[in-house]
Amino acid sequence: MASLKKHLLKKGYTAIPLRRTNTEHFEVDVVLNGVAGRFILDTGASNTCVGFEGIETFELRSETSEIKAAGAGAVDMETLISTKNTLEVAGWKKKKLKIVLFDLSHVNQALTAHKAVAVDGIIGADVLRKGKAVIDYKKCRLFLK
């Protein structure tokens, strides 16, 4: 039987290397609107997110949102929405991506408390769904189509 990687590459997927953090999250390098960033992969996050501090860095045009964010012990957090963004991950590209902006400080505090490096954002289930994601946990690889 062919390896998972060979099988998925034949099907048109892109293989993306992942790094495991001290908190057992997967971390991935991305290019958002032409700017490099460090994101964690979160299958439980419904949307791809960037911290408020990344608005200028990633040239995000934002507008108010009624959405309240929750996660990692924080609830009812205010958010902004940014549309028409371009996300690139190791050759895989998605245009017109909606990004949720919110205060990521609680996420980064949890990471740095465990000697992991702070991140710029989170790759959520929206991107994973659009890319028909397959995660190879053993080989630390993400495949997107």
Instruction: Parse the chain into domains and list their residue ranges.
Output: 19-144
Give the tens place of pLDDT for each residue, 92-117: 999 999 999 988 888 888 888 988 88
Record the pTM.
0.87
Tokens of 94: 């998605």
User: How would DSSP label each residue in 33-65?
Assistant: TTEEEEEEE-TT-SS-EEETTHHHHTT--EEE-
- 55 vs 53: CA distance, rounded Å: 6
What is the DSSP code (8-state) at residue 24? S
H helices then E strands: how many in the chain?
Answer: 4, 13
Give the tens place of pLDDT for each residue, 18-63: 999 988 999 999 999 999 999 999 999 999 999 999 999 999 998 7
The residue behind tokens 């507008």 is 63
- The answer as to CATH 2.40.70.10 being correct for domain 19-144 is yes
